[in-house]
Every structure is written in C-alpha cells, then in structure tokens.
Amino acid sequence: MNVQELVLKLNDIDAVKLGEFKLKSGIISPIYIDLRVTVSSPQLLASIAEMMYQKVYCSGTAQGKPSLVCGVPYTALPIATGMSIAHDIPMVVRRKEAKAYGTKQLIEGRFKEGDNVLVVEDLVTSGASVLETVRDLNSVGLTVTDVVVLLDRQQGARETLEKNGLRLHSVFTMEELINTLIESGKLAGKTLDLVKAFLEANRNVTVPAPAPAPVVVASNKRFEERAKIAVNPMATKLFNLMASKKTNLAVAADLTNKQEILNLAESIGSEICVLKTHIDIIEDYDQTFISALEAIASKHNFLIFEDRKFADIGNTVKYQFENGVYQISKWAHMVTVHGVAGSAIIEGFKDGLKQNGSGLLLLAQMSSKGSMCVGEYTNQMIEMANNNKEQVMGLICQERLQSMTDNLVLMTPGVQFNSTGDKMGQQYNTPEYIIKEKNTDIIIVGRGIYQNSQPKTEAIKYRAASWNAYESKNFN
Ligand SMILES: O=c1ccn([C@@H]2O[C@H](COP(=O)(O)O)[C@@H](O)[C@H]2O)c(=O)[nH]1
C-alpha cells in the first residue's frame, strides 16, 4: 500500500474529520485525524504498523533495530503492539498515571538500563505527549533516539523533538494528506481554504517542558537522627520510640467492641509503635475505654492514633477535635487530616494540639483503588506539611517522594503479606516493598493482624519484616 492509498482508506473509515476540534495544545483546528478508529480495522492497523516500521528501519536514518518499542498511550498502543509482534521486538508500556500502590511501575514490562526504545505515536502536533513518554522512559534508565509517527501535522513537533535529541520519522505529513484529499476530490472550496489558513497560521506550536517525573527516594538518616530534625514534638517522640523499641509497626484496631480492642492492644502492645483507632466505629464506646487504652499504651510504650480524617472548615474541625462525645484532642497523640478544605483547616487544630503535644498526619496519598490523592494534590499536601511543621508531624502516603523532608514521619496503610486487596477497593503491598522499595517509615496493618487467629504471632512477623527492611537500608 502506498501513502495515497493509506490516506484514502483512513478517510473511508472516518479517521479524517472536518469541522471544529480542540487539540491537546488548546488550538481549534478545522481538521482532525482520529486514528483511534483504526482498532476496528485490523488489516489496516497491521499495514500501518508495518509502514511505520519500514519508515524507520528502511530509510537508513535510524541506527540499528531498537531493543524495545513503546507506544505513547493510548491510540498508539495497538500500533506498537502490531510492530512488536510482527518484528519480534519486546514492548514496554508507559502508564499514563503513576500508580501509588501495587507492584505497578511507571514503565511496565521487562527491560534493562541502557536499552534503546523506539517510541511509537499515531500523530504529532507539538510533540508534548512524545516528550512526556520519553521523560518517563529516561527516568528508568532507558534511552530514546528515534520516534516514529504515522502523521506529522507539521506544527512544530519535528523541531521540538530535534531540540531534545530525538529523530522524528513520519509516514506522511499533513500537507501530503491534504494533497491526496484534494486530488481525489474529497477536499475543496471553503473547507480547503480554512484548512490551508489554519496550517499556515499554526506552523509552530510551542510545548511547555513536561513536569519532571515524581522520584521515589530513600532517607539516608536513621530514626534517631530524624528525631532531632523533627519540629513537631510528637514526631520527635515517635522517631525516638521507634529507635529504642525497634519497631516500625502500627496496627489498625478496626474492631467495633471496646473490650476486643483492649484485648488486642494488650496482646500486641509489645510489638508496635502506634495503635490506630476509628473511635466512631466502637458500638459500646464510653470514657472508660480511653482510660483503659491509655493505661495499656503507657504500659507497652506505644502511641495512640485516631484516624478521624478531618476535612471540614477550621471552625468545625475545632469542635470535632476538642468537643463532642469523643473529645479526641484530650487523648489522641496524632490524627489524620484531609487537605481538601485548604491549609486554613490547620488553624482549627492549633489549640487542641497543645493539650497533648500531638501532631497532624496529612493524607498525601491513599491506598484505595482510584484514589484522587495523586499528582498535584499530593504535592500540595507535602507543601502544606512543609509550611506547618509545628502542627504537622507526618504524612499518610504510599511512597517517599523527594519533596518529603526528613522531619516528617511517613506512615503507609494497605499492607498485608498474603493479599493484594479486598472487595471494596483496598490495595495491599508487602512490608518489605513499602519500607525498602517505597522508602516510607511505618507500615499500618489492620486485618492482616487482628483477623488472624494468632494476632500476637502475626504482629511479631510483621514487626520483624518491617524492621529488617528498615535496617537493611543504607544510612549515613
Ligand atoms: O489510605 C488509607 C488511609 C487509611 N487507611 C486505614 O488503614 C487501615 C487499613 O486496614 P486494613 O485492614 O489493613 O486494610 C484502615 O483503618 C483504613 O481506614 C487505609 O487503609 N488507607
């Protein structure tokens, strides 16, 4: 098949649309090429993949076959798959959204550092999507020299990619597509004038540099040192407690009967640094529960964490924290806070925190499937923590990002040895993965311990796994 035949086939399957279309760059275009529809024409899809491959490796401009191919999500994924199968070149897949859970990586598939990747894209306008993919491939040690597209819209991508050291290969350009449509009588009159004027006016679409990929990094300081750096007094206390008791295990005691919680606390108290409660799920709650729990906490030297997840305006959270049935500020050493209401929420805690020298834990990421605490939201939570060091002792997160400073305690829920999740969206990782690979400080384990027939024996195992993972890290 030659280029003209291909263009006409694409036109036949409605991949070429005329009208008013907003492009990724924000520009309104009178012509839109929707290559997503090619998935409904497998023979054509296979031909497209082959023509793109031939363009790169038979033109003589690319240096040798690549080690891997990678399609830019999502339209180019089936094209890259076709190329990979036809030429037996392994493929890697870039996740569009970095996952904060599971074993899922930014780049899926098997590869080794230095492997050269051919990036496959359906079409380019400014080159922004290609650069995002190249950035993520580079962040895991892969190299990219060549990019192949079916269509170059001739709006600046070639020049932008060149500036970034990338060769662009295209099967056809917008000019070739339009000429074919004119010659076959499919584009004429006013529409043709509009398309020509648009192309002329948009020869160069500039691309903002893609934001850097989030980097997971380890702290090189032991808990003892971090206790000295911490600003919030409860963070200091917790770092010291972990260092002296040699445990970074927190247990979520999500039981609904006060005696059951007290029994659990008594049985596992020697193994943990923190016991986490959801006070509002206890059916027979009364004040005696708190004094009994405090006595066990002081006997076994652990802290009490009420996972209340406050999320209202400052004035309301002040009442929720200090008043009502639970009077949380009187006994909780730490509480969780969502940032959706904005940083002014912290004002509502200032008085209450002084009663107990307590600290706030901001929810920067969550363990549940589809959590919206990702990306820019996570960054904002880290910034809120950094701007309120006296009140904020740490973060609830799934990984330690570069901007998470050493004064903050990083606590991670969604941990179990033998399960990857539950039926209600919870997602689990192992203690080793969280502490060693994701570099957070404390694992929070709930059902993995309290639903076990031998909670103490199980707590000992989680404690050992989590502490050994911490000890195996490289410190200054
Ligand atoms: O992102 C989050 C934040 C909090 N949690 C809480 O942790 C425990 C986990 O219990 P499991 O039985 O180990 O699943 C629970 O209290 C949650 O409310 C979380 O899971 N994820």
Of 167, 78, 151, the closest CA to residue 116 belongs to: 167
Kindly state whether residue 216 falls inside one of the protein's structural domains: no
Domain match, 39 and 140 both: yes
Report ipTM for this prediction.
Answer: 0.99
Q: Is 150:169 a contact under the CB 8 Å cutoff?
A: no
Domain match, 180 and 229 both: no
Q: Is 113:137 a contact under the CB 8 Å cutoff?
A: no
**Tokens encoding 388:** 């309120």
Q: Per the annotation, does 400 bind a ligand?
A: no
Distance CA 401, CA 364 (A): 11
Distance CA 455, CA 256 (A): 16
Q: Per the annotation, does 358 bind a ligand?
A: no
Kindly state whether residue 424 falls inside one of the protein's structural domains: yes
Distance 357 CA to ligand 1 centre (A): 24
Domain match, 285 and 163 both: no
Distance 276 CA to ligand 1 centre (A): 10
- List the CATH number of the domain containing 20: 3.40.50.2020
Domain match, 164 and 232 both: no
Q: Per the annotation, does 82 bind a ligand?
A: no
Distance 255 CA to ligand 1 centre (A): 13
Distance 414 CA to ligand 1 centre (A): 6
Q: Is ligand 1 within 6 A of the CB of residue 447? A: yes
Distance CA 218, CA 438 (A): 8
Which of the listed residues 142, 171, 201 is the one where a domain comes to its end? 201
Q: Per the annotation, does 447 bind a ligand?
A: yes
Distance 294 CA to ligand 1 centre (A): 22
The atom of ligand 1 lying closest to the CA of 371 is: 1
Kindly state whether residue 464 falls inside one of the protein's structural domains: yes
Which of the listed residues 156, 171, 201 is the one where a domain comes to its end? 201
Distance CA 393, CA 229 (A): 11
Element (DSSP H or E) covering residue 307: strand 303-310
Kindly state whether residue 374 falls inside one of the protein's structural domains: yes
Digit-by-digit pLDDT tens for the chain (476 residues) are 999 999 999 999 999 998 888 876 677 888 899 999 999 999 999 999 999 999 998 866 666 789 999 999 889 999 999 999 999 999 999 987 654 444 457 899 999 999 999 999 999 988 888 998 999 999 889 999 999 999 999 888 999 999 999 999 999 999 999 999 999 999 888 888 888 888 887 776 665 555 656 678 889 999 999 999 999 999 999 999 999 999 999 999 999 999 999 999 999 999 999 999 999 999 999 999 999 999 999 999 999 999 999 999 999 999 999 999 999 999 999 999 999 999 999 999 999 999 989 999 999 999 999 999 998 899 999 999 999 999 999 999 999 998 999 999 999 999 999 999 999 999 999 999 999 999 999 999 999 999 999 999 999 999 999 999 999 999 98
Q: Is ligand 1 within 6 A of the CB of residue 431? A: no
Ligand 1 pocket, mutate which of 99, 254, 381 (most atoms under 8 A from CB)? 254
Kindly state whether residue 269 falls inside one of the protein's structural domains: yes
Domain match, 312 and 189 both: no
Kindly state whether residue 210 falls inside one of the protein's structural domains: no
Instruction: Give a three-class secondary structure readout of 146-164.
Output: EEEEEEECCCCHHHHHHHC
Dihedral of alpha carbons 18, 155, 135, 47, sign: positive
Kindly state whether residue 26 falls inside one of the protein's structural domains: yes
Q: Is 91:84 a contact under the CB 8 Å cutoff?
A: yes
Domain match, 265 and 367 both: yes
Domain match, 375 and 339 both: yes
Buried b (16+ CB within 10 A) or exposed e, 110-123: ebeeebbbbbbbbb
Domain match, 288 and 367 both: yes
- If you take atom 21 of ligand 1, which residue's CA is the nearest one? 367
Which of the listed residues 150, 167, 201 is the one where a domain comes to its end? 201
Measured at the CA of 65, the angle between CA 59 and CA 68, to 5 degrees, comes to: 125
Domain match, 372 and 410 both: yes
Domain match, 22 and 139 both: yes
- List the CATH number of the domain containing 310: 3.20.20.70
The atom of ligand 1 lying closest to the CA of 276 is: 16
What is the Cα 169 distance to its own chain's centre?
31
Q: Which domain holds residue 246?
A: 223-471
- If you take atom 6 of ligand 1, which residue's CA is the nearest one? 413
Number of domains in the chain: 2
Domain match, 182 and 229 both: no
The atom of ligand 1 lying closest to the CA of 373 is: 1
Instruction: Give a three-class secondary structure readout of 294-306.
Output: HHHHHHHCCEEEE
Domain match, 232 and 87 both: no
Q: Is ligand 1 within 6 A of the CB of residue 100? A: no
Q: Per the annotation, does 354 bind a ligand?
A: no
Kindly state whether residue 179 falls inside one of the protein's structural domains: yes
Q: Per the annotation, does 446 bind a ligand?
A: yes
SS3 category, 421: strand
Q: Is ligand 1 within 6 A of the CB of residue 378? A: no
Ligand 1 pocket, mutate which of 426, 440, 449 (most atoms under 8 A from CB)? 426
Angle, to 10 degrees, between the axis of helix 258-268 and the axis of helix 287-300?
0
Distance 447 CA to ligand 1 centre (A): 9
